[in-house]
Structure 1
Amino acid sequence: MPTLTLLQAEGLVVRTLTRCRTDVDNARSVARALVAAEVDGLQGHGLSRVPSYAAQAKVRKVDGLAMPLVTRPRPGLIAVDAGYGFAFPAIEAAETVLREAAPAQGIAAAAIKRSSHCGAARLPVERLAQAGLVAIMFANTPAAMAPWGGSKALFGTNPIAFACPLPGRAPVVVDLSLSKVARGNVVTAKQRGEKLPPGWALDHKGQATTDPDAALHGTMLPMGDAKGVALALMVELMAAGMIGANYAREASSYLDAGGPPSGTGQLIIAFDPEAFGTHAIARFNVLAVAIESQQGARLPGERRLALRAKAKAEGLVIPEKLFAEIEAL
């Protein structure tokens, strides 16, 4: 299987997307996000997405030439219109303004509408935490989960991500899909010809399935049963209803080039943790150290640091079939 350095992997994505009606700066933004997800072991949000992204850009389901439009409706609010383009340039534009607005005011929020698949939600909040901010992100996605007690998909898997800085070291990062697993894991299993573990998904008849194709035509099971569905409802209201994005049931699939643009949304809220005068970052570290002092315990997100060091030293191993598919686009 081919092994690529991180720069080579980013170059592969950029070359592919620019051949498929995508502006080079947008392609670079997408490449940064996909390679970062791949490095972190999140293959469902990594290079496996390149074929579907390219197909969507070719038919303009995702407008690879769209440039995000940033406005400030209120001093603490940033509105970003992704123009039905890739989510990543719009998210990066939102981050730029949040880094200025949150310290100035103590808190700021960025709403991104007419957007698309945002990949690993941990990455934007982690970058904001590296800049000294506490950040939380909500993202709604196309319908994949039924309401509790229902049978028809109405909510997305709707990730929630959170990060906060620690003094002199990597931030705490939490990234949760509200289904038992992210739907991207099902896509990866299908690409690899693998079965799903029991308990991930139901088929279109509401029966348990380990067949990834049946799962993609059915529904995902929620994390925490009714509690996960309640959180998915919250995300729909905040990342779609409040900001003018499509609800999950109105959004077309992220997985193929059929239909209109997805038009989903993301909401990022950033806080200056020192705004309350409580020495918050030092206090965060007190709890982090207490967790780490227990044998066998670790902070959420720590695994990513080891994976990043390994990828930087050894490169990324790309499945032969996927590499050939990307090169052929």
Structure 2
Amino acid sequence: MTRLSLAAAEDLGFRALRANRVSELQARSTVRALVAAEADGLETHGLARVPAYAAQARVGKVEGFAEPKLERLRPGLIRVDAGYGYAFPALDLAVEALPEIARAQGIAAAYVARSHHFGQGGRPCEQLAEQGFCALLFGNAGKSIAPWGGKKPLLGTNPICFAAPMPEGAPLVIDMAVSRVARGKVILAAKRGEPIPENWAFDPEGRPTTDAKAALAGTMAPMGEAKGAALALMVEVLAAGLVGSSLGAFSSGVVSAEGGPPDLGQTLIVLDTAASPAFPERMAGLAGLYAEDGARMPGTRRLAARAKAAAEGLELPEALIAELEALAAS
């Protein structure tokens, strides 16, 4: 492992993407989000994604020079066309536009269309919570979960993300895939040649497996069994049905450079807490109840990792740094 400052890590990832047919806008926004995920301890959504992102840009699966475009569909609803570029610049545009609408109407929403992998979904929600909003983000992904009772993958791990302001300190952030674990953990294990726990995934025959490569060829285990599979379906409706993006069953995925654009979708919903006078008191009450019981509020470890990264930088595998340096020099 080698330690890099956050600025040095961001510069390295930026150079790696820029050298592989990616514009400054797309590269800067994307790497900023990846480094933020890395700092929060989410290495599956961090700089390890850059080689795949770069490979997709080189062959045109991702439009590296896309410029997101915003359209007002209804007074409280916008659509951001990501243009088959990375999701992050499009989400940045939505996060910038939604607060004004939500303050005027109490609620606002954005559909992000023709998009890509959106990584740490809690981040845009947290950015909105810091401005006094509750935010929900739903996004679909390429097929990796079978409907409960089936063996064939039809749905993605389809994350559900949420953030809310707290009376003191950082916002409450909840960010979870509807699979038992994020598929990125299985991808990372396969890349490293490591086994996975038996309850994470199934092989192509529907049997529990510890082989990460067999898991990637099979299906992910949904959290809560039938309930997790139902949540995956709910997100598919919100992120593909409403947005008009590709169903996860037909998306080309975001791991390989093969196929056409993934054409994924995200739906971001924002609620103005200022319209609810009791909100601060209720949130303070919740925080107090957690403190009394000694319970851990979600996000505690993420915030601790973030503070450590800010003070000490990031520890990154030397092999990953070498791969990024090679991409930057390509």
TM-score by structure 2 length?
0.97
1:291 and 2:286 correspond:
no
Equivalent residue number for residue 280 of structure 2 = 281
Task: Tell me the amino acid that sits aligned with residue 224 of structure 1.
Answer: G
Distance 2:283 2:168 in 1: 12
Structure-1 residue corresponding to 2:320: 322
Alignment partner for residue 301 of structure 1, among 299, 302, 309?
299
Work out whether 1:223 is the aligned partner of 2:223: yes
Partner Cα distance (1:282, 1:65) in 2: 46
- Matched with 1:29 is 29
Aligned partners of 2:119 and 2:39: how far apart in 1?
13
- Offset, 1:304: 1.1
8 Å Cα contact 1:166/1:282 also seen in 2 = no
1:131-170 matches, cutoff 5 A: 131-170=131-170
The amino acid across from 2:238 in the alignment is: M
Query: The residue matched to 1:208 in structure 2 has which SS?
Result: coil
SS at match of 1:236: helix
One-letter amino acid matched to 1:121:
G
2:84 aligns to what? 84
Q: Which of 313, 321, 324 is 2:311 aligned to?
A: 313
TM-score by length of 1: 0.98
Name the SS of the counterpart of 1:259 in structure 2.
Answer: coil
Cα deviation, residue 191, structure 1: 2.2
Query: For 1:73, what is the secondary structure of its paired residue?
Result: strand
| SS of aligned partner of 2:249 | helix
- Code of the residue aligned with 1:85 in structure 2: it is G
One-letter code of the match for 2:144?
A
Residue 320 of structure 1 deviates from its aligned partner by: 1.1
The aligned counterpart of 1:208 is 208
Q: Which amino acid is the alignment partner of residue 28 of structure 1?
A: R
Runs (4 or more) in structure 1 with deviation over 2 Å come to: none
Shift of 1:273: 0.9
Alignment partners' CA distance in 1, 2:71 and 2:79 = 5
For the residue of structure 2 that corresponds to 1:80, the secondary structure is: strand
CA distance in 1, matches of 2:150, 2:57: 34
Letter in 1 for 2:125: V
SS of residue in 2 equivalent to 1:135: strand
Work out the CA distance in 1 between the residues paired with 2:219 and 2:280: 40
Percent identical: 54
- Residue type of the partner of 1:328? A
Q: CA RMSD, aligned part only? A: 0.9
Please give the residue correspondences for 1:76-115 in structure 2 after superposition, counting only pairs within 5 Å: 76-115=76-115
Q: Does structure 2 conserve the Cα–Cα contact (< 8 Å) formed by 1:139 and 1:159?
A: yes
Moved more, 185-194 or 308-317: 185-194
User: What are the within-5 Å matches in structure 2 for residues 41-80 of structure 1?
Assistant: 41-80=41-80
Is the contact made by 1:274 and 1:281 (CA closer than 8 Å) also made in structure 2? no
Structure 1 unaligned residues grouped into runs of 5+: none
Whether 1:3 aligns to 2:8 is no
